[in-house]
Amino acid sequence: MHPDTITIAPGTTPAEILRIGIEAARGPVSLACSFSLEDVAIIDIAHRAGLPLGVFAIDTGRLNEETYEVADALVERYRLKVEWYFPHHEDVEALERTKGLFSFRESTDNRKECCQVRKVEPLSRALKGLAGWVTGMRREQSPSRTDLRALERDDLNGGILKINPLIDWTEEELLAYTAEHRLPKNRLYSQGYRSIGCAPCTRAVREGEEVRAGRWWWEDPDNKECGLHRR
């Protein structure tokens, strides 16, 4: 079913968006989990609603220890099975041998090359065989996400369905849900982080900065995507 033929009314809950999306996909659907507040909330929502949602994660080789702690807590709490994907070691070795360990800070092209090796290529393998995938993206997060829709066709990944159940949630709503249900929470959030990715590419956010200002902070603020969500 094409997502353009599905009407998502204003005010539709994340649980209902998930249900509609999973039914529309007509096949297996998994959450791309980075163990952010958003992804943890989606796992809890799906669990409470009894929805058949798989979970996969990409280990770039540069995640924070605190991120692994959240993954372990989720496995324990929900008896969750996480399908882990890793970059091809030959590609990582070639990149670091030819350009060094921090080439991603030299230019946007170099940063995108690193993301391609460590994130995008593993994602393409993770999505094989799926009819749909779920993300924790919210419109409020950055200028590049303001035109998100709840259900989208992902033409860059074989035309499968992309489900964004939290697009209308504010950060305040997300934090309230996390607190209400006492969900596992990355310890870095208490240190001023508001969006957490690879350790060398993420910093705490300063007062007055937008949510994703701590991601690739040396780059143009309108270009805060790693390639996982190309449109």
Two tokens, residue 134? 């779920």
- What residue type is assigned to position 131 of the chain? A
What's the CA gap between 101 and 212, in Å, rounded? 23
Instruction: Identify whether 76 is part of a domain.
Output: yes
Instruction: Identify whether 152 is part of a domain.
Output: yes
What's the CA gap between 80 and 77, in Å, rounded? 8
Two tokens, residue 24? 């529309």
Please give the angle made by the CA atoms of 85, 145 and 12, to the nearest 5 degrees.
90
pTM (2 d.p.): 0.88
Determine phi and psi for 137, rounding to 5 degrees. Answer: -65, 145
**Could you tell me if 163 and 17 are in contact, meaning their C-beta atoms sit under 8 angstroms apart?**
yes
Domain containing residue 19: 3-214
Instruction: Identify whether 48 is part of a domain.
Output: yes
Q: Could you give the 3-state DSSP secondary structure of residue 202? A: strand
Instruction: Identify whether 220 is part of a domain.
Output: no
The CATH number of the domain where 101 resides is what?
3.40.50.620
Total domains in the fold of the chain: 1
Instruction: Identify whether 32 is part of a domain.
Output: yes
Maximum CA pair distance of the chain?
51
Among residues 33, 198, 201, 226, which one is catalytic?
A: 226
Instruction: Identify whether 25 is part of a domain.
Output: yes
Span 85-110, pLDDT tens digits: 999 999 999 999 999 999 999 999 99
Instruction: Identify whether 128 is part of a domain.
Output: yes
Q: Are strands 82-85 and 54-58 parallel, antiparallel or unpaired?
A: parallel
Confidence of residue 190 (pLDDT cuts 50, 70, 90): very high
Instruction: Identify whether 224 is part of a domain.
Output: no
Catalytic residue list contains 115: no
Span 13-48, pLDDT tens digits: 999 999 999 999 999 999 999 999 999 999 999 999
